């Protein structure tokens, strides 16, 4: 058995991602608020290859390209942000640090280039290729990048620490010696890995593409993930990358205003169905889901239907796209701040949720399985489930307490009943089959068994962490 597990661990396939061509210009300011970033899907989650203990803080990484640059962004969830190295090519990986290692030629992955950047903007670069004869470090040309704490003399840990961002533009001409095409052509494949490391407290190492084998090193190009350059910003593209719009509230707000001005003639108010056009946000299967497809149908109209083209500026169309996506977004589609490790601890510990709920096969049976709750419900609905009592218990969750003539006390929810008998799923997770003539008394309780006082029982931070954890509970889906 051990053998088998070891064997499987070594077979973990390289991660894959499609790099979309940016549909709007990008300003390097560590904000990531352009429509192009909003429409780009994040890579699959980072892997903690050598994890032993501590918090697994998440990293949301994205890539884009245009004729001149490869763009890389990292949004790092981090409760303890620290950085002290300021010198060029200093040992930045001792600080909190993000890295990208890039092989432009998939036939020769051992030729690769590295970027390591800390939160205050100190950077280390190397050119690890068979032709480089210079010093151990390397100077890329015309690079631009920004970090959240760019230029500070140092960054100490702070109780308000939540996240930091790095935004990087690398001109393609830096890769001319190795790349097959400069700039790349749609369909070109490169190999690369994205990493995170360092920091004083909770120094974890995580990578986008998993690193197989015993060697604890990022310098293993054979483990780099595969990236393919694609011609257009098309949403859900990449295998392993679900389209998750990172929604920007101001943009959504602007889009809402523009939508109400131009679209409600046919579509309903707030995205509901209108007299002459379908609902843009209801619980149904949408024909168009990716940011690029929505953009295209609004900008150019839909041929052969009433849906007209619009003369609006691209920026405005992207705002409306963000608004439509916000109407459709479930909790898993948005970045909910919070500490996932602590959220899990609240779920299994103080919150007592596992007493009634299951996630991936562990926990109680009385409440619904929550393994996919982030993909099924909006964040507001999950929050409401935890603090707003429902007027009546939802279908299938009618609580009951019964006493048998023999003196047994049973409390649970009614799974099935008729005039003669009932099946009760007890709080003990056992199914009790009771005939009416066995019962001394039975009470149908007016309120759901789901407690709704968690806003009082948990601290604000615990509540936030729990919501972050629940929003991440989404089963892997086939991309559309
Ligand atoms: C003259 C009526 C009309 C106006 C005005 C109009 N639409 Fe439409 N829209 C339609 C119709 C009809 C369809 C359905 C087309 C089809 O059958 O594919 C549609 C489809 C769409 C779709 C595709 C829905 C899906 O799930 O595939 C989007 C997105 C959309 N409209 C957005 C907008 C936006 C945003 C505006 C305002 C800028 C707008 N529409 C203005 C009539 C209209
Ligand atoms: C005593 C049993 C019990 C405990 C403890 C409990 N729940 Fe529930 N929960 C239920 C039941 C039963 C339902 C279904 C009925 C309802 O929605 O009221 C439910 C519903 C929910 C829903 C709504 C599901 C949906 O599909 O909309 C969420 C979310 C939820 N619970 C989360 C939690 C979390 C998180 C905790 C811990 C902080 C928790 N529950 C603790 C019994 C419980």
Dist CA 81 CA 160 (whole Å) = 10
Q: Is 279 in the pocket of ligand 1 (CB under 6 A)?
A: no
Who lines ligand 2 at CB under 6 A? Answer: 347, 351-353, 355-357, 366-368, 373, 377, 382, 385-386, 390, 394, 397, 448-451, 454, 466, 470
Comparing CA positions, the residue from 417, 447, 446, 413 lying closest to residue 427 is: 413
Comparing CA positions, the residue from 403, 412, 408, 423 lying closest to residue 448 is: 412
pLDDT for 476: 65
Distance 415 CA to ligand 1 centre (A): 43
pLDDT for 59: 95
**Residue 81 CA to its chain's centroid (Å):** 21
Residue nearest to atom 42 of ligand 1 (CA): 307
Atom of ligand 2 lying closest to residue 377 CA: 27
Two tokens at 464? 């936030």
Going along 130-275, which residue ranges are E strands? 144-147, 163-171, 189-197, 206-207, 225-230
Residue matched to tokens 């405005």 = 316
Strand order in the sheet with 421-426: 431-435, 421-426, 409-417, 399-404, 439-444
- Which of 343, 356, 395, 401 is the pocket-test mutation for ligand 2 (most atoms within 8 Å of CB)? 356
Dist CA 31 CA 355 (whole Å) = 41
8 Å CB contact between 321 and 294 = yes
Comparing CA positions, the residue from 322, 350, 393, 361 lying closest to residue 473 is: 361
Instruction: Specify the DSSP element, H or E, that contains 73.
Output: strand 69-77
Dist CA 194 CA 115 (whole Å) = 10
Q: Is the dihedral of CA 272, 277, 283, 289 positive or negative?
A: negative
Comparing CA positions, the residue from 220, 318, 315, 234 lying closest to residue 64 is: 234
Residue nearest to atom 20 of ligand 1 (CA): 307
8 Å CB contact between 54 and 99 = no
With vertex at residue 8, the alpha carbon angle to CA 7 and CA 9, rounded to the nearest 5 degrees, is 90
Atom of ligand 2 lying closest to residue 376 CA: 26
The DSSP 8-state label assigned to residue 375 in this structure reads: H
Phi, psi of 189 (to 5 degrees): -110, 135
Domains of the chain, earliest start first: 12-230 (2.60.40.1190), 249-329 (1.10.760.10), 340-390+450-471 (1.10.760.10), 399-444 (2.30.30.100)
8 Å CB contact between 466 and 379 = no
Comparing CA positions, the residue from 310, 332, 335, 165 lying closest to residue 249 is: 335
- Give rounded-to-5 percent helix, strand, coil for the chain: 25, 25, 55
480 residues of the chain, pLDDT tens digit each: 344 444 444 446 788 999 999 988 899 999 998 888 988 889 998 999 988 889 899 999 999 999 899 999 999 999 999 999 999 999 999 999 999 999 999 999 999 999 999 999 999 999 999 999 889 899 999 999 999 999 999 999 999 999 999 999 999 999 988 988 888 888 889 999 999 998 899 999 999 999 987 788 999 999 999 999 988 764 433 333 334 445 677 888 899 999 988 898 888 877 766 777 777 765 545 566 677 888 889 999 988 888 899 999 988 998 998 888 888 788 887 788 899 999 999 999 999 999 999 998 889 999 999 999 998 888 888 999 999 998 889 888 999 999 999 999 999 999 888 888 999 999 998 999 999 999 999 999 999 999 999 999 999 999 999 999 999 998 765 433
Q: Is 286 in the pocket of ligand 1 (CB under 6 A)?
A: yes
Comparing CA positions, the residue from 195, 226, 212, 231 lying closest to residue 107 is: 226
Comparing CA positions, the residue from 184, 159, 158, 156 lying closest to residue 170 is: 184
Phi, psi of 379 (to 5 degrees): -55, -45
Two tokens at 170? 């690398």
Q: Is 151 in the pocket of ligand 1 (CB under 6 A)?
A: no
Cα distances from 389 to residues 25, 394, 449, in angstroms, run: 47, 11, 10
Residue nearest to atom 39 of ligand 2 (CA): 353
Dist CA 267 CA 206 (whole Å) = 45
Give the ranges where 231-390 is alpha helix by DSSP (H).
Answer: 249-262, 291-300, 314-328, 340-348, 373-376, 379-387
Two tokens at 275? 């007299």
Cβ-based neighbour number of residue 213 at 10 Å = 12
Phi, psi of 384 (to 5 degrees): -60, -40
Two tokens at 441? 């008394």
Dist CA 27 CA 2 (whole Å) = 50
Dist CA 316 CA 314 (whole Å) = 5
Comparing CA positions, the residue from 104, 52, 59, 79 lying closest to residue 195 is: 59
Phi, psi of 348 (to 5 degrees): -90, -20
């Amino acid at each position: 058995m051990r053998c088998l597990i070891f064997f499987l661990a070594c077979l973990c396939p390289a991660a894959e991602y499609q790099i979309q061509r940016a549909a709007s210009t990008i300003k390097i300011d560590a904000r990531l608020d352009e429509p192009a970033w909003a429409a780009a899907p994040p890579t699959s989650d980072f892997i903690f290859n050598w994890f032993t203990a501590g918090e697994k803080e998440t990293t949301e990484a994205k890539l884009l390209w245009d004729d001149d640059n490869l763009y890389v962004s990292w949004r790092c969830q981090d409760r303890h942000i620290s950085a002290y190295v300021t010198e060029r090519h200093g040992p930045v990986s001792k600080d909190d640090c993000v890295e990208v290692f890039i092989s432009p030629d998939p036939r020769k992955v051992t030729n690769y280039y590295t970027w390591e950047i800390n939160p205050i903007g100190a950077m280390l670069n190397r050119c690890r290729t068979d032709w480089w004869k210079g010093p151990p470090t390397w100077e890329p040309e015309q690079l631009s990048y920004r970090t959240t704490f760019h230029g500070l003399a140092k960054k100490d840990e702070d109780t308000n620490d939540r996240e930091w961002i790095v935004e990087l533009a690398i001109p393609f001409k830096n890769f001319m010696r190795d790349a097959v095409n400069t700039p790349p052509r749609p369909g070109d494949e490169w190999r690369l890995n994205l990493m995170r490391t360092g920091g004083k407290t909770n120094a974890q190492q995580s990578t986008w593409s998993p690193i197989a084998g015993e060697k604890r090193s990022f310098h293993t190009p054979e483990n780099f993930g595969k990236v393919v350059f694609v011609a257009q910003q098309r949403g859900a593209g990449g295998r392993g990358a679900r389209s998750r719009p990172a929604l920007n509230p101001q943009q959504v707000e602007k889009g809402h205003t523009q939508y109400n001005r131009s679209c409600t003639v046919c579509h309903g108010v707030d995205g509901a169905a209108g007299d002459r056009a379908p609902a843009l946000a209801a619980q149904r299967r949408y024909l168009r889901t990716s940011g690029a497809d929505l953009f295209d149908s609004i900008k150019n109209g839909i041929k052969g239907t009433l849906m007209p083209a619009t003369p609006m500026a691209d920026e405005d169309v992207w705002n409306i796209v963000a608004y439509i996506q916000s109407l459709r977004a479930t909790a898993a589609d948005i970045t909910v701040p919070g500490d996932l490790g602590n959220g899990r601890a609240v779920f299994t510990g103080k919150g007592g949720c596992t007493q009634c709920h299951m996630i991936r096969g562990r926990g109680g049976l009385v409440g619904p399985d929550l393994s996919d709750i982030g993909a099924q419900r909006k964040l507001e609905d999950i929050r409401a489930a935890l603090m707003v009592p429902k007027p009546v218990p939802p279908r299938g969750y009618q609580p009951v307490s019964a006493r048998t003539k023999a003196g047994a006390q049973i409390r649970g929810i009614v799974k099935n009943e008729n005039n003669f008998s009932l099946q009760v799923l007890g709080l003990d997770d056992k199914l009790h089959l009771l005939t009416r003539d066995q019962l001394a008394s039975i009470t149908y309780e007016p309120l759901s068994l789901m407690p709704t006082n968690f806003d009082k029982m948990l601290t604000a931070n615990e509540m936030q962490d729990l919501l972050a954890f629940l929003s991440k509970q989404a089963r892997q889906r086939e991309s559309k």
